[in-house]
């Protein structure tokens, strides 16, 4: 067993995305104790930064010490008790995972099954909530990482509020890449991941809970299934009021990385970052279309940070990805579930959303196509991408 030196890739899949060297350098700084006053000062800055990131005043805003899937579970296990009914909108992998979470937390899930690649229809959600007055929570995915679809979160939250339901929103791929306005929309519980548009390494899951959500947690009559994710315990550590008590050992160096990624995001400005993702998407889309590729998702529901394109007929998608990785050190994503073998998922997330990456992607794809009996004009596609930038 010898020291591991990874090859230098360009990460344009569905995440993790490229991590900026400033974030990597921050993670390599000397470890502090998790109760050190210097570390606790940094934690307060992370909490404040996450509130600004989520556009919320929610006091209970902090990073869960585990990947996005644990952030999802934190929302579901704390808000659901045996016998609760939750309407789950499923239009990809992560809606299905939400359903699993509801069931394992002891709840009943009413599934709204939306075709993969399509956005949820607020009218259908409205009708479902009308048909299920026993439902007390609506759960949906803001940015489906498996399809590249953006949901109309404002409209879905408005429907939930009309029916007096709380909302749980998956914002793993959306935060940092497109507007996420927790307080304006009235989202009650939201989770995201560190490794997408925040350009931090994977392993942390920022979450935020509204006062309405906390009232529900406080009104529980049964303990939360999970000790590790129980908000009432975790907050004894993350909430500075009245001194901190030990819950679990925080992932100190990973939090240095998240802190630095927030510093970088606010240096650029959150709105400027959204604009950059939109601009890079426009450029990439022009290049991909000039290569003859078609998008899975209709223009109005497309995520700028995750471009799902259909594999052309007669092309073996795995061979193309293998060539990109081997010859260009470029990672793009495969399809999942019913889309396996049928699409590629090309990420433009955080640090990855820059002209160099767009141009590399177009050039490398053109090379891969030409080497796999699918002739294209790479120069023309590159020119189209540049013209649209």
Which residues, 262 to 321, sit near a second copy by CB under 8 A? 262-263, 266
Stretch that binds a second copy, among 21-29, 206-214, 291-299, 312-320 (CB under 8 A): 21-29
Alpha-carbon gap, residue 299 to 276, rounded angstroms? 18
Residue 5 found at the interface with a second copy (CB under 8 A): yes
Cβ proximity to a second copy: between 254 and 384 the closer is 254
Exactly one of 190, 250, 311, 353 binds a second copy (CB under 8 A); that residue is 250
Query: Could you tell me which of 33, 37, 61, 39 has the C-alpha nearest to residue 49?
Result: 61
Cβ proximity to a second copy: between 85 and 253 the closer is 253
Cβ proximity to a second copy: between 176 and 203 the closer is 203
Cβ proximity to a second copy: between 22 and 372 the closer is 22
Q: Kindly state the smallest distance separating residue 225's Cβ from a second copy, in Å.
A: 4
Q: 180 CB contacts (<8 Å, ≥6 apart)?
A: 53, 54, 55, 142, 153, 171, 174, 190, 192
Cβ proximity to a second copy: between 65 and 301 the closer is 65
Cβ proximity to a second copy: between 250 and 368 the closer is 250
Exactly one of 182, 189, 252, 273 binds a second copy (CB under 8 A); that residue is 252
Exactly one of 162, 248, 294, 371 binds a second copy (CB under 8 A); that residue is 248
99 burial level (CB within 10 Å; 0-12, 13-18, 19+): buried
Exactly one of 87, 109, 149, 254 binds a second copy (CB under 8 A); that residue is 254
Which residues, 113 to 172, sit near a second copy by CB under 8 A? none
Which residues, 317 to 356, sit near a second copy by CB under 8 A? 325, 331, 336
68 burial level (CB within 10 Å; 0-12, 13-18, 19+): buried
Q: Kindly state the smallest distance separating residue 50's Cβ from a second copy, in Å.
A: 11
Q: Kindly state the smallest distance separating residue 27's Cβ from a second copy, in Å.
A: 5
Cβ proximity to a second copy: between 45 and 316 the closer is 45
Query: Could you tell me which of 165, 172, 205, 163 has the C-alpha nearest to residue 187?
Result: 165
| Binding mask of the shown chain, residues 178 to 207, with x at each position contacting a second copy by CB under 8 A | ---------------x-x-----xxx----
Helices then strands, each counted (H, E), the chain: 14, 14
Cβ proximity to a second copy: between 186 and 251 the closer is 251
Phi, psi (5° rounding) for residue 159?
-65, -45
Exactly one of 83, 124, 246, 327 binds a second copy (CB under 8 A); that residue is 246
Query: Could you tell me which of 109, 106, 84 has the C-alpha nearest to residue 96?
Result: 109
Task: Using CB under 8 A, count the residues that bind a second copy.
Answer: 80
Stretch that binds a second copy, among 136-144, 152-160, 163-171, 220-228 (CB under 8 A): 220-228
Alpha-carbon gap, residue 352 to 10, rounded angstroms? 8
Q: What is the DSSP letter of 302?
A: B
Which residues, 50 to 79, sit near a second copy by CB under 8 A? 65-70, 72-73, 77
CA 229, distance to chain mean position in Å, is 19
Angle at the Cα of 370 (from 359 to 309), degrees rounded to 5?
60
Cβ proximity to a second copy: between 292 and 337 the closer is 337
Phi, psi (5° rounding) for residue 89?
-90, 120
Q: Kindly state the smallest distance separating residue 287's Cβ from a second copy, in Å.
A: 22
* Element of type H or E holding 150: strand 149-150
Residue 221 found at the interface with a second copy (CB under 8 A): no
Query: DSSP string spanning 90-149?
Result: ESSHHHHHHHHHHHHTT-EEEEEE--TTS---HHHHHHHHHH-TTEEEEEEESEETTTTE
Residue 224 found at the interface with a second copy (CB under 8 A): yes
Exactly one of 97, 216, 277, 323 binds a second copy (CB under 8 A); that residue is 97
Stretch that binds a second copy, among 29-37, 161-169, 269-277, 297-305 (CB under 8 A): 29-37
SS3 for 251? coil
């Amino acid at each position: 067993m010898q020291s591991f030196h990874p090859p230098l890739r360009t990460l344009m899949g569905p995440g993790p995305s490229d991590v900026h060297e400033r974030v990597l350098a921050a993670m390599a700084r000397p470890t502090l104790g998790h109760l050190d006053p210097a570390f606790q000062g940094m934690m307060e800055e992370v909490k404040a930064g996450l509130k600004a990131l989520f556009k919320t005043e929610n006091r209970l805003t902090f990073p869960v010490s585990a990947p996005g899937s644990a952030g999802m579970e934190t929302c579901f296990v704390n808000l659901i008790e045996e016998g609760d009914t939750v309407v789950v909108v499923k239009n990809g992998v992560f809606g299905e995972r939400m359903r699993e979470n509801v069931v394992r937390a002891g709840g009943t899930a009413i599934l709204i099954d939306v075709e993969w690649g399509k956005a949820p229809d607020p009218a259908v959600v409205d009708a479902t909530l009308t048909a299920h007055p026993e439902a007390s929570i609506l759960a949906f995915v803001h940015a489906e990482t498996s399809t590249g679809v953006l949901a109309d979160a404002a409209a879905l939250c408005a429907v939930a509020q009309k029916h007096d339901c709380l909302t749980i929103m998956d914002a793993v791929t959306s935060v940092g890449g497109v507007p996420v306005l927790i307080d304006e929309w009235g989202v009650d519980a939201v989770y995201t991941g560190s490794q997408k548009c925040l350009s931090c390494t994977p392993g942390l899951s920022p979450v935020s809970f509204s006062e309405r959500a906390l009232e529900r947690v406080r009104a529980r009559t049964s303990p939360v299934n999970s000790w590790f994710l129980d908000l009432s315990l975790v907050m004894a550590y993350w909430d500075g009021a009245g001194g901190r008590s030990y819950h679990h050992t925080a992932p100190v160096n990973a939090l240095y990385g998240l802190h630095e990624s927030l510093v970088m995001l606010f240096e650029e400005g959150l709105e400027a970052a959204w604009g950059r993702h939109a601009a890079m998407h426009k450029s990439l889309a022009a290049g991909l279309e000039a290569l003859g590729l078609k998008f899975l998702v209709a223009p109005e529901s497309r995520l700028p940070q995750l471009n799902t394109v259909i594999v052309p007929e007669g092309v073996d998608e795995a061979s193309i990805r293998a060539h990109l990785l081997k010859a260009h050190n470029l990672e793009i994503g495969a399809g999942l579930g019913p889309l396996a073998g049928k699409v590629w998922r090309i990420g433009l997330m955080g640090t990855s959303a820059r002209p160099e990456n767009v141009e590399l992607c177009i050039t490398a794809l053109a090379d891969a196509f030409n080497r796999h009996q699918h002739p294209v004009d790479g120069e023309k596609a590159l020119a189209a991408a540049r013209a649209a930038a």
